[in-house]
Amino acid sequence: MGKPSNKIVEFFKLQASMKKAGHISECFYHKKEECRGPIKQAHSLQKNGRLSLIEGEVNGQNKIYTFSNTQPNEKSYFGDLKPIGKGEASTFFGFCDKHDAELFSDIENHEYDDSDKHNFLHSYRSFAHSYHISKQGIKAGNSDKKPRTPIDEPLLQGFKMSLVDFDISKAKLDRMIEHKIYEKLCYLSVVLPDQTIPIACATVITPPYYYSGKPFNNHLDIDIPYSDIMLTVLPDYNQTIIIFACFSDDGASIKFLDEFSTLSDLLFFKAVSSSLISQVENTFFAPAFWNALGLEKQKQLLKEIEYNVAEGLVMPPHKGFYRSKINLFDTRLSAQKLGIDCVWLK
């Protein structure tokens, strides 16, 4: 796409300033009177070992990669990916000590069993992270502690728009977790057996199109609510776990999951890859994974990240379901093929 536009540069500068100006420390669990202990800097991905699994050496230090931390060159803001430390990755001050330990003990201390409870807890945590980021964005947008830019107001309105819908969804999740009503979410859970893909994600996506190409979420009309889909990708010691979740009363989101469920294995993993790349949010992967892509696929991935960030900023939105040319779940990129030790995670 050539030299980066001022709007893209401003967008990334704004993201960096938001982390400081928008800092929030607040337990996501709704019964605040039950909170005990400090608000922890917790990972959105349960089992800290999962981030250790995707750590790798970069210039003599243990690092990981993420789509959203790029390094510019003379031609593009997306000249390369810039590694970060595990402590910077996917953390948020979103649960007190008591609730971080008690709410998630079942998925922290037991192997994934594809139960409604396990799928709910992973999805709940992914939602909590996205909710937290939206609240931080609003706080930062209203702050005087960061420089003002021309894209401040549109970005702030985007956060406000998402939080209105998030608050409705949060109220539903509050009731479900308090009363252990795990079946009120619909799940599409897929396990890639015997292959640990060293990539992890915990987020909420609002795709503008179905896989079939029909319109889904309207990102331009503030009066039309979003349909939220929680997406979690977990590398495990002998498998890779992908969990989509949506509310059982949200027919539009259920249709999205249904379309994915009918895809062949190859098309499904390509569709998940496309969803991760097009959202560019809270996804992390190992240096060995990045290196194994090779130069041409690295360039292609950077090009796709730039395209998806540029949408709405310097170019019109993509028409139809975004389809990446890269399959992030290619088994040739598994930890087993890359020589990454996974057994200790068991």
- pLDDT tens by residue, 145-155: 555 555 556 66
Structure confidence at residue 149 (pLDDT): 56
Structure confidence at residue 70 (pLDDT): 83
Say what angle helices 287-310 and 265-279 make with each other, to 10 degrees.
60
Beta bridge partners of 322: none
Burial 65-97 (b: 16+ CB within 10 A, else e): bbbbbbebeeebbbbebebbebeebbbbbbbbe
Q: How far apart are CA 210 and CA 115, in angstroms?
A: 26
Residues 6+ apart with CB under 8 A from 54: 64, 198, 199, 200, 235, 284, 285, 286, 289
Structure confidence at residue 138 (pLDDT): 79
Structure confidence at residue 182 (pLDDT): 98
Structure confidence at residue 40 (pLDDT): 83
pLDDT of 310-330, one tens digit each? 765 556 677 899 999 999 999
Is 56 in contact with 86 (CB distance < 8 Å)? no
Helix (H, G, I), strand (E, B) or coil at 216: coil
Helix (H, G, I), strand (E, B) or coil at 149: coil
Structure confidence at residue 319 (pLDDT): 86
Structure confidence at residue 106 (pLDDT): 94
The segments of the chain whose pLDDT lies below 70 read: 1-22, 43-49, 90, 143-157, 219-222, 280, 311-316, 343-346
User: 140: which 2 tokens?
Assistant: 């930062």
Domain boundaries, the chain: 6-345
Residues 6+ apart with CB under 8 A from 154: none
Structure confidence at residue 19 (pLDDT): 63
